[in-house]
Amino acid sequence: MAWPTDDPDAYFASRGFALAVYEDAIEGDWSADLLSGDRERMLQRRYGSGASANDAALRAQRRYHVEQEPGRPPLPHRLP
């Protein structure tokens, strides 16, 4: 498996999933839903969230990495 990258779309696609990133007007932030690879089914709503679309996608990627790939070194931390 490919090591996590700064491209969450490619990261999830390589695992058979997709992200739908959108601005959440109610919450006032951006959210990323985890979808099946064919985008037919939502697997997890608000899998990641953040101040921008990119933040939401990267947080979803980090969450997946922690939950599904334990024992691997953590993703690099980026300062704002």
Residue 47 pLDDT exceeds 90: yes
Residue at 80 is within a domain: no
Domain count, the chain: 1
Residue at 32 is within a domain: yes
Three-class secondary structure of residue 50 per DSSP: strand
Q: CA 44 to CA 28: how far, in whole Å?
A: 19
Q: What is the mean pLDDT of residues 47-73?
A: 87
Residue 1 pLDDT exceeds 50: no
Residue at 50 is within a domain: yes
CA distances from 8 to 18, 25, 56 (A): 9, 23, 10
According to the model, what pLDDT value does residue 61 have?
92
Q: What is the mean pLDDT of residues 46-59?
A: 93
Closest CA to 76 of 68, 25, 65, 67: 65
